[in-house]
Structure 1
Amino acid sequence: MTQKHRLLYRLLRYLLAAVLGFYTLAALGLLALRSVNPPFTAVQIERRVQSWFHKTPYHKRYAFVPLNHISLDFQHAVIAAEDSRFYQHHGFDWEEVRNAIEEEQEDGRLRGASTITQQLVKNLFLTTSRSFVRKGIEYLLVPIAERILGKRRILELYLNVVEWGSGVYGAEAAAQYHYGIGAALVNRDQGTRLAAVLPSPLRRKPSRMSEYSARIQERMRKMGW
């Protein structure tokens, strides 16, 4: 084995050890999250660092609340908008992935097909950047998240950590920031408008989401909500 090959082999070993170490820590973190609410997430840290680099003001709004303190209209709106088969799949919605690929072949644009579980894993442990490495780690963690946390806890965590605007994280902070009320008081129209913001929370505003809100409400009706 040449020196070049030995160096490459050593680098691959270090890379594999780093990936396995991260995976182990994340799995232990998921075990802890069965009963402990996260004080911060990777995406929150990412946004804080971005504000330092760009020298922009940053004020974090984040208040964790139990799932039963988030109105059913709000919960249903987010599920209908982000992951309509949330209770049917085991972390990956392969039917939605297939639909996204077919649409990409028709109009040349590939839309997202991430489930709520995938988005939760990204928010907790990864960043918003798009790369094959990030996606690979995400795919490794999703099955264990489903196994360890279960659907109710996944939904509770997701609704509490997802980004809803600059420095705004979680349903309670979003409801307070956009409507001046608690998440328990969010009605159907408000919930669908907030859900419509999720694909692009730094650009979209609930007040401008009338068209998307109507689509989500129609989807909710079809789902029996």
Structure 2
Amino acid sequence: MFRRKPSTPAVSWPGRCFRWLRGLVLGFVLLTVASVALLRWLPPPITSFMLIAQAEAIAARRTDFRLNYHWVDWDGISTSAKDAVIAAEDQGFFEHGGFDFQAIEQAWRHNQTGKRLRGGSTLSQQTAKNLFLYPGRSYLRKGLEAYFTVLIEACWPKERILEVYLNIAQFGDGIYGVAEAARIYFGKTAAHLDEKEAALLAAVLPNPIVLKAGKPSAYVGRRQQWIVRQMRQLGDLGV
């Protein structure tokens, strides 16, 4: 006599959902780790912020929009440009592990006063956001930003983080990276930016659409002067 094979018990819906979710999370982790690891050596062909800007321009039917982005290697960026963004955005860059908790606390206290919101993001966090994510202040976005920041700090040396940041940061409407900013605003290469020019570019980083390097306001001028003073006080940063 033939014995009937025991039937495989049906998987419940909660079990299926758990397996699907587990596979999704595992796939996300593998994909993101592989992407960050590859970008340790390869220049990013484009970033999420660039894609969003292009999509918004298409939706608004902007015929004047052009994406200006050109990668330049570490040695093709002036020391002044490297020093300027550190002085302006993250003076503890070489000391922290991706998060400046003192700056985050100060920003949180400032924001409780109801004044203009201030961020406490490091260059590592800004690189993670600009490269992989989207604008916003939701807990999900901040959680993803923290995740990618940890990955970047684990996989890349500080010099690589700074190199990528300078190449993908927005310096104006459709202007991404220090190479295109140097060409458009000063008619020179990123390697030849001087102290004041680099400080002017760094001065617009908080909001490069409102703050314009091409037509600097009095506020941008004051911020530029402050950044120059900070650069001189910090001295040789080893970059």
Q: Taking structure 2 as the reference length, what is the TM-score of the superposition?
A: 0.85
Cα distance in 2 between the residues matched to 1:122 and 1:139: 9
- 1:27 deviation in Å? 1.4
Query: Where do 5+ consecutive residues of structure 2 fail to align?
Result: 1-11
Q: Match of 2:38?
A: 32
2:56 to 41, 50, 63: 50
- 1:14 shift after superposition: 5.5
User: Of the two, which has the highest radius of gyration?
Assistant: 2
Task: Render the CA deviation track for 1:27-79: whole Å, top value 9, x for unaligned.
Answer: 11110011111111111111111111111132111111111111111110011
Secondary structure of 1:164's match? Answer: strand
What is the distance in 2 between the residues matched to 1:155 and 1:102? 28
Alignment-derived partner of residue 147 in structure 1: 154
Shift of 1:13: 6.9
4+ residue stretches of structure 1 with deviation over 6 A? Answer: 6-13
Q: For residues 185 and 18 of structure 2, what CA distance do their matches in structure 1 show?
A: 48
Q: Say which SS state the counterpart of residue 55 (structure 2) adopts.
A: helix
Partner of 1:160: 167
Deviations 1:95-145 (A, max 9, x none): 111111222234544311111111111111111233211111111121121
Bigger share in helix: 1
1:184 is aligned, of 166, 186, 191, to 191
> Displacement of 1:204 after TM fit?
1.1
Residues 14, 44 of structure 1: alpha-carbon distance in 2 compared, 3 angstrom cutoff: farther
Give SS of 1:200's match. coil
Structure ranking higher on relative contact order (CA contacts 8 Å, 6+ apart): 1
1:222 maps to what in 2? 233
How many residues were matched structurally? 220
1:21 shift after superposition: 3.1
Equivalent position of 1:212 in the other structure:
223
CA distance 1:10–1:93, shift in 2 (3 Å): farther
Structure 1: unaligned runs, 5 residues or longer: 1-5
Report the identity percentage: 36
Classify the secondary structure of the residue corresponding to 1:90.
coil
**Pair 1:68 & 2:75 matched:** yes
Q: What RMSD in Å do the two structures reach over aligned CA positions?
A: 2.0
Distance 2:117 2:231 in 1: 24
Alignment of 1:108-123 (within 5 A): 108-123=115-130
| Corresponding residue to 1:127 among 126, 129, 134 | 134
* Offset at residue 88 of structure 1 (A): 0.5
Equivalent residue letter for 1:133? L
Q: Give the match for residue 201 of structure 1.
A: 208
Greater mean deviation of Cα atoms: 124-133 or 179-188: 124-133
> Does the 8 Å CA contact 1:23/1:141 hold for their aligned counterparts?
no
Task: Return closer, same or farther for 1:123/1:12 CA change in 2, 3 Å cut-off.
Answer: farther
Counterpart of 1:3 in structure 2 is none
TM-score w.r.t. the length of structure 1 is 0.89
| Residues 104 and 32 of structure 1, relative CA distance in 2, 3 Å threshold | same
Q: What displacement does 1:160 show?
A: 0.5
Where 2:71 maps in the other structure, the secondary structure is: coil
CA contact (8 A) 1:42 1:125 kept: yes
Q: 1:24 is matched by which residue type in structure 2?
A: L
